Amino acid sequence: MKQYLLTEDQISFIDMVKDFFAKEVLPIRAEYDEKEEVPMEVIKKAMDMGLHILDIPEEYGGAGLDFLTYVMLVEEMCKVDDAFTSILNAGSIACKVVELGGTEEQKNMFYRKVVEGAFVGMCITEADAGSDVSAIAATAVRDGGEYVIDGTKLFVSNGSLADHYIVFASTDKSKGSRGISAFIVDADLPGVSRGKRESKLGCHAGDTCAVTFDHVRVPAGNLLGKENEGFKLTMQTLDRGRVKVAAMAVGLAQGALDYAVSYAKERVQFGQPICRLQGVQFMLADMEAAVETARQMVYHAAALIDSGMPCSRAASIAKLTASDNCMKVCTDAVQILGGYGLCREYPVERFFRNAKTYQIVEGTNQIQRMVIGRDLCR
Ligand SMILES: Cc1cc2nc3c(=O)[nH]c(=O)nc-3n(C[C@H](O)[C@H](O)[C@H](O)COP(=O)(O)OP(=O)(O)OC[C@H]3O[C@@H](n4cnc5c(N)ncnc54)[C@H](O)[C@@H]3O)c2cc1C
């Protein structure tokens, strides 16, 4: 976090959040990772503080934070537990889709529910549509005053908790990606069913599952934006999603670095703390450089988003650098703990497992390279 970029009010809010995470999240993070469960009681407390609506506009009841302050907060939260943070913030990009595509009535209705504590799942990915979003096979067919939605979505974050989904489905197959539309779908509608929670390498407390829509009827008024404009809506939210994930990776990496430094100061070998050994100090120095480099890229991309300037290349660079650096930093944190780094009772083992997530979500790092390369070679 860079205090010189913030006002007194922002600093005191961030301090309050840090205090909450230190008192409420730190003591339970290992337990819920082990149990592979959502720590719902503490999530509810965080929601009471408004930590799930940080970037929702004030006029709709959210905190209305600018994006730079938002990502700084995300970073601070992920320093303690990125899985917990992902549960709180998984709905933020879905909310952005509503902000961009929704009518005033849709926004008022949708945000009121989110502010009151409803969970939202973003449903894009399918069996044959992962990196290639344009291959979406789910369909939405107009039938009088309704659309009938069919299809199965995979890897939906907060999928089994969600009260509402933002579902992307094809309304005109002949148009490919230009025939995709976005819908608000209530989770309790007939035909909506959830698969079992995925048991993943990392972020065990986080909730990810498949959601099937079998002849689900939604009012035509649940269409977001115009018909066939769903792909455009996802593309407009991509940059924010990527920078948010990059901020998560920076926070996780900082947490790993902090732990490695404190361990290296305590652990004695060859008659001295290992942090006095140049080989270890050099590793720590490289880790610090990697975290700080990524942080600057995240803040730069977030500032571009706040200013409304083009930022796709910067967002991809931030996501690529932050997640690759996070993986390296977490790997080195394990190395600095030696054999203890492999043991579950030390948090770096979990940091290492969680780190892999950020090289994959919100567009794999190969896709980020593709975006950067294409932008360079236009
Ligand atoms: C924890 C978690 C949470 C998620 N949350 C959500 C969610 O809330 N909503 C949602 O819709 N989805 C979600 N996803 C899905 C995520 O967006 C996809 O996993 C991701 O986009 C990659 O798709 P895929 O897994 O099908 O991999 P694939 O697209 O099959 O990719 C496989 C490999 O091929 C590479 N590859 C693919 N295309 C190219 C290319 N053109 N050039 C070079 N290499 C390429 C990839 O980089 C990767 O290494 C989540 C995933 C995870 C793991």
Amino acid at 249: A
Ligand 1 atom 27 nearest Cα? 130
Nearest CA-CA partner of 156 in 93, 240, 62: 93
Residue type (1 letter), 239: D
Tell me the per-residue pLDDT of 86-108, one tens digit each, with 9 for 90 and over: 999 998 899 999 999 999 999 99
Q: Which is the closest atom of ligand 1 to the Cα of 168?
A: 11
Residues 6+ apart with CB under 8 A from 210: 152, 153, 154, 155, 156, 159, 194, 195
In 3D space, the residue among 119, 175, 112, 180 whose CA is nearest the CA of residue 151 turns out to be 180
- How far out from the chain centre does Cα 99 lie? 18
**Do residues 148 and 217 touch, judged by C-beta distance below 8 A?**
yes
Q: Which tens digits make up the pLDDT trace of 44-79?
A: 999 999 999 999 999 999 999 999 999 999 999 999
Q: Atom 31 of ligand 1 has which residue's CA nearest to it?
A: 131
Distance 73 CA to ligand 1 centre (A): 26
Is 41 annotated in the active site?
no
Give residue 131 CA to ligand 1 midpoint distance, Å: 5
In the Cβ-directed half-sphere of 268, how many Cα atoms lie within 13 Å?
2
Q: What do you get for the CA distance between the two ends of the chain, in Å?
A: 35
Specify whether the CB–CB gap between 331 and 275 falls below 8 A.
no
CB 220 within 8 A of CB 330: no
Q: Which atom of ligand 1 is nearest to the CA of 364?
A: 47
Q: How does pLDDT run along the chain (378 residues), one tens digit per residue?
A: 667 778 888 899 999 999 999 999 999 999 999 999 999 999 999 999 999 999 999 999 999 999 999 999 999 999 999 999 999 999 889 999 999 999 999 999 999 999 999 999 999 999 999 999 999 999 999 999 999 999 999 999 999 999 999 999 999 999 999 999 999 999 999 999 999 999 999 999 999 999 999 999 999 999 999 999 999 999 889 999 999 999 999 999 999 999 999 999 999 999 999 999 999 999 999 999 999 999 999 999 999 999 999 999 999 999 999 999 999 999 999 999 999 999 999 999 999 999 999 999 999 999 999 999 999 999
Q: Which domains does the chain have, with CATH numbers?
A: 3-114 (1.10.540.10), 119-231 (2.40.110.10), 235-376 (1.20.140.10)
User: Which amino acid belongs to residue 244?
Assistant: K
Residues having CB closer than 6 A to ligand 1 are 122-125, 130-131, 155-157, 203, 208, 357, 360-361, 363-364, 366-367, 370
C-alpha span between 244 and 51 (Å, rounded): 15
